[in-house]
Amino acid sequence: MHKPLPSSGRGVRPEASPGDFVIVPGAAALPPLESGSLVRMDVPVSLLPSLGLTPPSTTAAKVKADLIVGQDGLTRAVRLVN
């Protein structure tokens, strides 16, 4: 069983560290999450601020991340992967 996403920004850590999901800015205004998919992908470090994360100090151009994508195809939350 998975831990439900918080309904607000409280308790969400915005720094880019592996482990915790961070709600993507604007996702709270989307329709309720009825179903979704977990998608692992390489994300450009330059994209992290638009996802609500402060980029980690790295020289890599991309980092691995898990995205929760809702039934509507929109990303709801993201977390970095070790």
Question: CA–CA separation, 75 vs 82, rounded Å?
Answer: 20
Q: Tell me: the pLDDT tens digits for 10-47?
A: 444 455 555 689 999 999 999 999 999 999 999 999 99
Question: CA–CA separation, 47 vs 52, rounded Å?
Answer: 9
Neighbours of 17 (CB within 10 A): 14
Neighbours of 19 (CB within 10 A): 9
> Does residue 13 sit within a domain?
no
Domain count, the chain: 1
Instruction: Tell me the whole-structure pTM to 2 decimals.
Output: 0.72
Calculate the average pLDDT of the chain: 81
Quick check: 69 pLDDT over 80? yes
> Does residue 35 sit within a domain?
yes
Inter-residue contact 78 to 22 (CB < 8 Å)? yes
> Does residue 60 sit within a domain?
yes
The pLDDT of residue 18: 59
> Does residue 71 sit within a domain?
yes
